[in-house]
Structure 1
Amino acid sequence: MQAEVPLLTFVIPCLNESRTLSSVIADCYEGGRACGCPFEVIVADNGSTDGSQEIAQSAGAHVVDVPIRGYGAALLAGIRAAKGTYILMGDADSTYEFAQAGQFLGKLQQGYDLVMGNRFKGRIAPGAMPLLHRHLGNPVLSALGRLFFGIKIGDFHCGLRGFNRDAILALNLHCSGMEFASEMVIKSSLMDLRTAEIPTNLWPNPPGRIPHLKTWRDGWRHLKFMLSFSPKFSFLPFTGLLLLMALALLFSFGLGLPPFSGPSTLVFAFSCLVACIGIVSDYLSTREMLYSEYPMRRSGISQRVDSLLGLNRGTDRIFKIAGISAFMSSAGFVALLVFWLQGSLSSRMSSLVTFVTCASLLLSISAYLTAAKISTYRNLHPKSSNANVIKAHVELDK
């Protein structure tokens, strides 16, 4: 390892890994030398009691003591302590090959922000991955990640990954447990960071080692994080389907087509409309919080949403939608009063007017609350430029 400022930092979270740590650090040195660039090795120790810290220091690694327990907490501390422009992280149990550092660094220098290893495209040695993880847990969670977030990654939870330090710090990652792995990938997708994959191998744990990963507990934590943090894709595509279904039911009721001529048709149509408006409102509020808080390269869909709703110029257009909808609902109530005076409140046309009136009132309230929440958030969290956010992170960590 050279004395100049490193280009690459190896970050290894560690908790009682005395049997394998020295060989893992040696593997990092092999990978670093092969890259032909200045590098450093950081071991983020999470409270080891088996001499792992001393082993790491004697092997030439810089040890960062992390008092907060957890995989994510250890990695965050190691990333913040790193001096390299690029980071390659991996476990301390000798299951990954840090000698692949050159492949990861090459992709990062091409402009990718996050480079994931893919164990399914490489080799998974016999006994290296439990069958439950290999055929159920990892494939299902990876598929949900691709569905919810549009992430084109085949191995969502590979522990060997390289990334641009400043880009990842700017995501403001905070999960302290195993779900940190999901948080990094998900936020990278939401912020439109460039990602790539590299085939990597996975080797078995050394005999007698008890894995830190708890299948059901950590699997649930990953799933819960995905379900609660998916404003970009999860339910949004269904809004179009819900809206079409509501309009089709309303049209069928208006024509008196059986079996859609009864009041239950309007109830179901209105339920679809409520769900549609609720999902869009939640999407806009969550998206505003995400895209105002973290720097990103704006994607086409984000720009189109801003342009359509006028969010790039404030929230006036959404407030106007609320006002127009409120006027329509008021006019609807007047029309219903006329139907009542004429004794035709039970007619089919009256039912349709009632539907439109209630839908307008719902849209008015929802649009107003959405615009109000976005305006309040913008006032409390003024947007910063990407450069200023990243600079603040770097200066803080120094």
Structure 2
Amino acid sequence: MTDTPHSPGGSRVPAPVDVVLPCLDEAEALPWVLDRIPSGWRAIVVDNGSTDDSARLAASLGAYVVHEPVRGFGAACHAGLRAATAEVVCFLDCDASLDPAQLPRVAGPVLDGDADLVLGRRRPTARGAWPLHARLANRELARLIHRRTGLRLHDLGPMRAVRREPMLALGLTDRRSGYPLETVVAAADAGWRVRELDVSYAPRAGRSKVTGTWRGTWNAVRDMRAVLNRPPAAGPATTPERDALPRTATGTVIR
């Protein structure tokens, strides 16, 4: 993995929040997405092998660009997490389906110490924003998550906020589609406070590499089932800034 710093947006000076944007051929969406990153926050675009000049475009627009040669959504997310320097990190799909302007509301409970992990629950704003097969798969995953962790979630939340060091301490290993789910499961096992907040969800720019087809969707579900079938970690990971508080067997969903 190699890093390409760019100034001023690409400076390594810690920003209030770093925003990790996994990217594979998203040149069409990048200008809109990067233009709506909150002022003072740093965009970390993780190029995962784009062939459409996404990396060069992102750099020209002021993003800090990380090149991750290992293909996989989880590989890109984790490379961005490792490259981040801010205490709080947000993750966001780079396809213009989610509005970065809503990130401060999602990151707020983490910044304020009221939650350890916040997931943006997608609320479609237009027909076609969330295909039927993807919604059905998401509903099944929510059921499996509840059975495995006790968390009553509605969505895996592609817009999310978390503290960087505790997330690294979770020791996540999935580098494919199961990475977002592994984050939630490991957080629940560690007794983290997990919160859902509604976020707008619009039709993406271009075609999804994961859920654009039935086959892609169910391949992702297969990856995630493998995560759910793993036994819980032997011991709880560090609970962010709550070491003196009582631990619970599973995470807590805060409405």
- TM-score normalised by L of structure 1: 0.55
Query: 1:51 aligns to what?
Result: 53
Change (3 A) 1:174 1:107: same
CA offsets, 1:82-102, max 9 Å, x none? 111111111111001110122
Aligned residue-pair number: 230
- In 2: Cα distance, 1:299 partner to 1:87 partner: 24
Q: Where do residues 92-107 of structure 1 align in structure 2 (5 Å cutoff)? A: 92-107=94-109
Change (3 A) 1:76 1:301: closer
Which is richer in helix? 1
Query: 1:179 aligns to what?
Result: 178
- In 2: Cα distance, 1:301 partner to 1:47 partner: 40
Amino acid at match of 1:18: A
Query: 1:356 aligns to what?
Result: none
Q: Where do residues 84-233 of structure 1 align in structure 2 (5 Å cutoff)? A: 84-111=86-113, 112-119=115-122, 122-134=123-135, 136-155=136-155, 157-206=156-205, 209-213=206-210, 214-229=216-231, 231=232
Give the 3-state SS of the residue equivalent to 2:144 in structure 1.
Answer: helix
- In 2: Cα distance, 1:118 partner to 1:104 partner: 10
Query: 1:343 aligns to what?
Result: none
- In 2: Cα distance, 1:6 partner to 1:146 partner: 35
Change (3 A) 1:61 1:301: closer
CA offsets, 1:323-372, max 9 Å, x none? xxxxxxxxxxxxxxxxxxxxxxxxxxxxxxxxxxxxxxxxxxxxxxxxxx
The structural deviation recorded for 1:148 is 1.4
- In 2: Cα distance, 1:132 partner to 1:5 partner: 40
Query: 2:4 aligns to what?
Result: none
Kept in 2, the 8 Å contact 1:47–1:67? The answer is yes
The structural deviation recorded for 1:48 is 1.0
Change (3 A) 1:19 1:148: same
**Which of structures 1 and 2 has the larger relative contact order (alpha carbons within 8 angstroms, sep 6+)?**
2
Query: 2:3 aligns to what?
Result: none
Give the 3-state SS of the residue equivalent to 1:228 in structure 2.
Answer: coil
Change (3 A) 1:10 1:300: closer
Identity %: 30
Kept in 1, the 8 Å contact 2:46–2:77? The answer is yes
- In 1: Cα distance, 2:248 partner to 2:230 partner: 24
- In 1: Cα distance, 2:108 partner to 2:248 partner: 28
- In 2: Cα distance, 1:5 partner to 1:178 partner: 29
Amino acid at match of 1:299: R
The structural deviation recorded for 1:295 is 2.5
Query: 2:213 aligns to what?
Result: none
CA offsets, 1:36-84, max 9 Å, x none? xx42110011011111011000110000010111000001001110111
Change (3 A) 1:8 1:45: same
- In 1: Cα distance, 2:32 partner to 2:75 partner: 24
- In 2: Cα distance, 1:20 partner to 1:143 partner: 32
The structural deviation recorded for 1:224 is 2.2
Give the 3-state SS of the residue equivalent to 1:200 in structure 2.
Answer: strand
- In 2: Cα distance, 1:118 partner to 1:8 partner: 20
The structural deviation recorded for 1:123 is 3.3
RMSD (Å) for aligned C-alpha atoms:
1.8
The structural deviation recorded for 1:113 is 1.5
- TM-score normalised by L of structure 2: 0.84
The structural deviation recorded for 1:299 is 2.2
Q: Where do residues 1-398 of structure 1 align in structure 2 (5 Å cutoff)? A: 5-28=14-37, 32-33=38-39, 38-111=40-113, 112-119=115-122, 122-134=123-135, 136-155=136-155, 157-206=156-205, 209-213=206-210, 214-229=216-231, 231=232, 289-291=234-236, 294-296=237-239, 299-301=247-249
Amino acid at match of 2:154: G
- In 2: Cα distance, 1:125 partner to 1:84 partner: 34
Q: Which has the larger radius of gyration?
A: 1
Query: 1:251 aligns to what?
Result: none
Which is richer in strand? 2
Runs of 4+ aligned residues of structure 1 deviating over 3 Å after TM superposition are 1-4
Give the 3-state SS of the residue equivalent to 1:9 in structure 2.
Answer: strand
Change (3 A) 1:189 1:56: same
- In 1: Cα distance, 2:218 partner to 2:140 partner: 13
Change (3 A) 1:172 1:106: same
- In 2: Cα distance, 1:84 partner to 1:95 partner: 24
Amino acid at match of 1:158: G
Amino acid at match of 1:56: A
- In 2: Cα distance, 1:300 partner to 1:93 partner: 36
Kept in 1, the 8 Å contact 2:124–2:130? The answer is no
The structural deviation recorded for 1:138 is 0.7
Change (3 A) 1:69 1:98: same
The structural deviation recorded for 1:300 is 4.5
